[in-house]
Each structure stands twice: as C-alpha cells, then as structure tokens.
Amino acid sequence: MEQQSSSKTKQLVFAALGIALVFICTVFVNVRLPVAANGGLIHLGNVPLFIIAILYGRWMGALAGGIGMALFDVVGGWFLWAPFTLVIVGLMGYTVGAICEKNRTLTAYVLALVAACLIKVVGYYGAEGIIYGNWLAPVASIPGNLVQIGVASAIVLPIVAKLRKHVAVFSWAGSRK
C-alpha cells in the first residue's frame, strides 16, 4: 500500500513538473507573428510536451501539454483559446505518447510528431474558424503551426535519442519496461 502511494505521488509530481515545463517554455520562449487574425504565436512549449509524451506516455503527455498550454492562454490573455488548447494540445500529447509507448524507434517518434502536427493544424484551423466565424482566415495560421512543430521536432528527436537511454521509464507510462 505504501509503494502504491509513493507511485501516485511520483505521478503527481511528474505531471506537475511537466505542466510547469510546458507552461514556462510557452511563456518565455515565444514570438508573436504579424500574420493571421490574432497575430499567431510560435513558441517552444511543444519541446517539453513531446519529450514528456515520448518518455512517459500518453497520460503525462496529455496532462503536461493540455494543461500547461491552456494555462498560458489564460495567463497570456488568449482566454478564448484556452478550452480549444486544452483539448487540441492534450490530444497531441496523448497521441504522441500512445504511439511511442508501443514503439520505441526513431521511425515511431517521427510518425508520432507528424500525427501531432496534423492534430495541431486541423484543431487550430477549426478553433480559429469557430472563434472568428471565418473559415478562410485560418489558412494564414497553417505555416506558423508547421514551423512550430518542425522546430520542436528538430530539437526533440536528438534529445530523446540520448535521454531514452538514461531516463527511467515508470510503470504508469504503459507497457514499456
């Protein structure tokens, strides 16, 4: 029973650290774009999101990404975006983690990041269309979303290749041993 409590505590601590890392990288490492309906934003919050999802699985990825970036939206003045971000980025983290829990290869990591990119582009296209009531304007946001995921992927892949050899993978992360 004590070991189960310790495991739950570790899960909670890792989730909180993941949320904090995503939030901090989104807040402090970002560039507002002078295009799109509300300017758009490129940030590095996806870097810790993807690392966490790849190393610790779907639930950690979903929590860290969805909550961390939704908190940024609330604190950063993007209030209308927060519910969409919670769902879209949570789904990105969940998907990356789900793919990488079963397949610990570079090919799986790349496919997971491509899936996250598709979720981001489609999800934020739909969110922007709903928020602004215009289904043509969101096309201007697609290049920024592609750059954001591309830059994050270029940073994440070499880091994860090194980290996965040294980071202990916990039992809550799925079927990995």
Per-residue pLDDT of the chain (177 residues; tens, 9 = 90+): 667 778 889 889 999 999 999 999 999 988 876 765 555 678 999 999 999 999 999 999 999 999 999 999 999 888 999 999 999 999 999 999 999 998 989 999 999 999 999 999 999 999 999 999 999 989 988 998 999 999 999 999 999 988 877 766 544 554 443
CA 104 to chain centre: 18
Q: What angle do CA 75, 69, 125 make, to 5 degrees?
A: 110
Range of the domain at 152: 2-173
Domain count, the chain: 1
Burial of 155 (0-12, 13-18, 19+ CB in 10 A): middle
Q: Is the pTM of this model over 0.85?
A: yes
Q: CATH number, domain at 15?
A: 1.10.1760.20
